[in-house]
Each structure stands twice: as C-alpha cells, then as structure tokens.
Amino acid sequence: MTGRLPASIRRFLISRSGSASVEAVLLFPAILLIVTALLMVGLLLYAKMGLYQQAVLTADRTAAHWGNAAKDPVTGAFWVGSRDGLYDRLLGGRTSGMGWMGGSGASITLPEQTGSTASGAAAKLSRGASLLPPGVTGTFRFHNRLLLPVVELDTAADNRRLSLLTSRFAAPSLEAKATSWITDPVETIRLTDLLRTFVGSWTEKWKSEQVQAAVASEEPRQQLVIASEKEASEYIRKLTGGKKTTFPTETVGEARIIDSLDSDGVAHEAKYTVNQKNAREQIAKDMELVRKGVVKGVVWHFFRHQKNGQTGLTASLKKELEKNGIVIVIHN
C-alpha cells in the first residue's frame, strides 16, 4: 500500500533495545550537576568553618595574653621582667583611647598597612591579628562593657575560588565574627586578697572601737564573790551548763561526785578549800573515769579563799594534776 513504512523501520520504532543507554544519557547531566553542587556547597561550608575557627582562635589567644604585651601570641611565653606598666590595666594605652576604666577603646583594620606604628591596645590587637592567614580582611576591636573588657573580631575572606557557586547563590566573600572576654586570674586574686585585707582590718578596727566605746560607757560590774564550797560548785554548774553527777569507782573511798558534768562529757571540779589527801584520792578516781571512758576530760577550778586569798593549789598538787593531764583553772 502507498504510504506504508517499510517493515525494517517499523521494527526499529517499536523495538526496546538500547533504552537504558538512552535514559542514562538523558539523566547523566542532571546527576553530574547535583553532585557538583553538593561538592561546591561542601567546599563553601569548609571554607566558612575554617575562617570561623581562625577568628575564634585569634580572639581567644589575644584575650588570654592581653595582660602582657611581651607575651608570645601563641604560647604566651615571655622573658622574665618583660611586662606592662604598673597601672597599665587601668590607664594603659591612652594613645589608643582605651584603658580599662573607660574610653573609646581601640581598633585596627585588617590587613594592617606595612610599617604601622600602633601602640597600647592597638599594638596588642595587631600582635593577635598576626595569627590570621594572609588575605583575611576585617576589623579587630577592643572596648569595655561596663568595666568588662572584650575583644571583637569581624573577618572576611575572598571567595572567588568558588565563583561558580557564589555568583548565583552566595556572597563573593566569606564572613565570620568572634568575641572573647579578657580575664586576668592573677590580678583578680590579687585584688580579692587586697580587698579582704583592707575590709578585715577596717572591720577589726571598727569592732575594737565599738568595744572600747561600750566598755567606756558601761558601768563597772560587781565583782564575783565566792565564799564557800557550795557557792563555787553552783557557779561552776551555771558557768558550764552541767549537772552534778555521781559515778561509782573501784578506787578506795566513796563514789566520785562530779560538781558539774557538761554536755561534752567533761567533768568539772570546784575547789574553794583543798584537803591535799582527799584531792589526791579524787585525782585517782578521775583518772579511773577517764580510762573507762566515762568522762572525756577533767577540769579543776580553784577559787581564792575570802580570808587568806589562797587557792589551796600547792606546787606538789599542781604537779600531780599536770602529770595526769587534768586542766587547771584559777578564778580570781
């Protein structure tokens, strides 16, 4: 029939042979474009993070070594005797308008011009900026925030190596910002100790003046008068907050009567008149109570007799008490 295609052409048109190759040829440009875009984005992020890491490292090192212009910008090492002036923390860098007590701060533009003669805070910023890689531009600043010093770094780097991507989807340059507070632990400790010293001295002086004023204005108190063994025992119980207690003992004689046993387990003995023989027997009983753990310690209180002014504490008795570890208190 006229107009009919030859059989060979019809077979070619309906045949499925080679379809995979045709599909691959059509999809390959799209796949290549996606892979290339992912690689470009990865390179862009890598460059961005690299610049940010450099900015943070530079700001941190500059802040950490701010207290001494002679320090190495990387290690912080410096020669002994090389340091800033005595009042540099407060008044240093006046030529740059900084000073920790206020001022307009200081700043430098990156990269610095060759032969720059910066001083003060600007010199410290320039020393820190030397850590940045070549080609980085931006601004490096120092200023105070309510007496809290801080350095701020704004950086930018050329991104023309990724021009295919930046021309369409990103800026022609990468930017990164970093901020670091300036701290000085040594100076903080020094000022803290200085403040504690002066405040402590002033407080002690103020208290002593108060005490002197109170003593001067206070009426003389009546002198304590102890006239008997009973009064001495009552006074000791009132003084120590203890109670009269009796403990059985194995030592010869009667049980040991403690004039006052305080809350800490310490036995207190009041002496107005002293019988030397009885006193030594009481010492033996007290040592027995201490050895057994009944009492934790023993204190003997001696009161002066109203008539003769004697305490009854002889040299031999004193030696015996001290030998056994008994505390001696003499009340005038």
| Residues 149/142, Cβ–Cβ less than 8 Å | yes
Residue 259 lies in a domain: yes
Residue 122, C-beta contacts closer than 8 angstroms, at least 6 positions apart: 93, 96, 106, 107, 108
**Cα 56 to chain center, whole Å?**
24
- pLDDT greater than 60 at residue 166: no
Angle (CA) 257 262 267, round 5°: 40
Same domain, 40 and 156: yes
| Residues 104/112, Cβ–Cβ less than 8 Å | no
pLDDT of residue 300: 92
Highest mean pLDDT among 14-23, 185-194, 323-332: 323-332
Give mean pLDDT, residues 141-157: 83
83-129 pLDDT, tens per residue?
Answer: 776 666 665 544 333 444 445 578 888 887 665 666 678 888 888 88
Residue 262 lies in a domain: yes
pLDDT of residue 95: 37
Coil, strand or helix: which one is 216?
helix
Closest residue by Cα to residue 321 from 272, 290, 291, 279: 279
Residue 220, C-beta contacts closer than 8 angstroms, at least 6 positions apart: none
| Residues 94/151, Cβ–Cβ less than 8 Å | no
Same domain, 144 and 37: yes
pLDDT of residue 225: 78
103 vs 41 pLDDT, higher one? 41
Give mean pLDDT, residues 296-315: 87
| Secondary structure (DSSP) of 67-112 | T-TTS-TTT----TT----TTHHHH--GGGT--TT-S--EEEEESP
Same domain, 173 and 256: no
| End residue of a domain, out of 135, 156, 187 | 187
Q: How far apart are CA 106 and CA 96, in angstroms?
A: 6
Q: What is the mean pLDDT of the chain?
A: 79
pLDDT of residue 97: 39
pLDDT of residue 169: 56
Residue 194 lies in a domain: no
Residue 17, C-beta contacts closer than 8 angstroms, at least 6 positions apart: none
Full domain range(s) for residue 323: 229-331
Coil, strand or helix: which one is 166?
helix
Give mean pLDDT, residues 18-27: 77
Q: Tell me how many domains the chain contains.
A: 2
Same domain, 41 and 159: yes
- pLDDT greater than 90 at residue 191: no
pLDDT of residue 160: 63
Residue 199 lies in a domain: no
- pLDDT greater than 80 at residue 155: yes
pLDDT of residue 35: 92
**Cα 282 to chain center, whole Å?**
55
pLDDT of residue 210: 66
pLDDT of residue 90: 61
Written as six digits, the tokens of 327 are: 């505390």
Coil, strand or helix: which one is 40?
helix
34 vs 89 pLDDT, higher one? 34
The number of beta carbons lying within 10 Å of the beta carbon of residue 162 is 18
243-300 pLDDT, tens per residue?
Answer: 999 998 887 667 888 999 998 889 999 988 888 888 888 998 999 899 988 999 999 9
- pLDDT greater than 80 at residue 81: no
Same domain, 172 and 247: no
pLDDT of residue 94: 40
Residue 213 lies in a domain: no
Sheet holding 243-247, edge to edge: 243-247, 256-261, 266-271, 297-303, 327-331
Q: How far apart are CA 325 and CA 263, in angstroms?
A: 20
| End residue of a domain, out of 187, 217, 237 | 187
Q: How far apart are CA 257 and CA 160, in angstroms?
A: 101
Same domain, 261 and 181: no
pLDDT of residue 78: 75
Between 6-10, 152-156, 288-292, the lowest mean confidence (pLDDT) is in 6-10
Give me the helices (H) in the chain, please: 7-14, 19-64, 88-91, 121-129, 163-166, 185-217, 229-240, 276-292, 315-323
Q: How far apart are CA 327 and CA 297, in angstroms?
A: 8
